[in-house]
Amino acid sequence: MRWLGVLPFFVFTALFLIFPTLYIIIGAFRTPDGAFTLANIASLNTPGIINAYLLSIRVSFFSAVLGCLIGFAMSAAITFGGLPRRLRSPLLTFSGVASNFAGVPLAFAFIATLGPVGLVTVWLRTEFGINLRAMGFNLLSTQGLIVTYLFFQIPLMILIITPALEGLKREWKEAAAILGASTSQYWRMVAFPILFPSLLGTLALLFANAFGAVATAIALTGSTLNLAPILLFAQIRGDVLGNPHLGYALAFGMIVITGIANTIYIVLRTRSEKWIK
């Protein structure tokens, strides 16, 4: 009876995670007739698909790096920066909501705000004479997609790194001060080496989070960017021009990349927790 409470979790995980993943992996090595083939995997080695993976990797990497830097600064501000403690709960609550806010609603919110006729775009142009398009910013581009991804990347970073920052023991800083270390030396020689595995692991997690974001990219840019998720959607949506088994191969490649990133995160996160404990 004690397993009955977690039974829905295992059923949900099997139906919506394990079985679909296995179906994709098997489909990547099958022909439409069901025969085994490596042609689908070999088809990934084409300029269009390689460029799609590279562009997705670039967008994911830069959004992860910026998300880590900004999120770390915000988390450090509420943990050590002397800001009122009452700001901590609202920020963490907002981060919990924003880290899961993606897809069509997020794309619409950014188009309405920073799009060609968005609220902020028009306001800057009419009130201050600042033309974002003339300055080279285009929301429906690679840089616009990176900015959009930051909306959920920064909150995710805050949620993950805040417990790690709070795990730094006060005795370490006091011991460093007694030995004559400055604040910068403490962070460079004590705190940062302890936090480094957690930071690097979080960077890998944010990379995987952005790399697998399909709905936001499609809703924001449509088919204007040659991203791996958009190319995958074009192959499996069911029209006569699509090749579902090539789509399975594309998805398999994305699973491998995100799997590597998540594995790095788990390993480094475990190492960081040992240090903090």
Point out the least confidently predicted range of 160-164, 205-209, 236-240: 236-240
Half-sphere exposure of 103 (CA within 13 A, CB side): 3
Is the predicted pLDDT of residue 1 greater than 70, yes or no?
no
Contact (Cβ atoms closer than 8 angstroms) between residue 227 and residue 50: no
What is the predicted pLDDT for the residue at 151? 94
User: Which residue pairs, CB below 8 angstroms and at least 24 apart, start in 111-114?
Assistant: 111/139, 111/220, 114/139, 114/144, 114/147
Q: Cβ neighbours of residue 248 under 8 Å, at least 6 residues apart?
A: 24, 25, 27, 28, 30, 40, 236
In which element (H, E) is residue 155 found?
A: helix 142-166
Per-residue HEC secondary structure of 231-256 comes to HHHHHHCCCCCCCHHHHHHHHHHHHH
User: What are the pLDDT digits (tens) for 181-232?
Assistant: 888 888 888 888 888 888 888 999 899 999 988 888 888 887 778 888 888 8
**Tokens for 129?**
């004479």
What is the predicted pLDDT for the residue at 277? 61
With tokens 């988390």, the residue in question is 75
**Tokens for 123?**
């306001």
What is the predicted pLDDT for the residue at 225? 83
Q: pLDDT band at residue 66, thresholds of 50, 70 and 90?
A: very high
Is the predicted pLDDT of residue 76 greater than 70, yes or no?
yes
Contact (Cβ atoms closer than 8 angstroms) between residue 186 and residue 176: yes
Is the predicted pLDDT of residue 237 greater than 80, yes or no?
no
User: What are the pLDDT digits (tens) for 17-63?
Assistant: 899 889 989 999 998 888 899 999 998 999 989 999 999 999 999 99
Please state the rounded mean pLDDT for residues 115-128: 89
Sign for the CA dihedral angle at 146, 151, 152, 157 comes to positive
Mean pLDDT score across all residues of the chain: 86
Task: Identify the CA nearest to 39 among candidates 251, 205, 245, 272.
Answer: 245
**Tokens for 33?**
């007739």
Please state the rounded mean pLDDT for residues 140-151: 91
May I ask the CATH class of domain 47-276? mainly alpha
Contact (Cβ atoms closer than 8 angstroms) between residue 228 and residue 251: no
Is the predicted pLDDT of residue 241 greater than 60, yes or no?
no
In one letter, which amino acid is 84? P
Is the predicted pLDDT of residue 179 greater than 70, yes or no?
yes
Task: Identify the CA nearest to 227 among candidates 109, 55, 79.
Answer: 55
Is the predicted pLDDT of residue 152 greater than 90, yes or no?
yes
Phi, psi of 36 (to 5 degrees): -75, 140
Residue spans per domain, the chain: 1-37, 47-276
What is the predicted pLDDT for the residue at 210? 92
Is the predicted pLDDT of residue 70 greater than 90, yes or no?
yes
pTM: 0.87
What is the predicted pLDDT for the residue at 276? 61
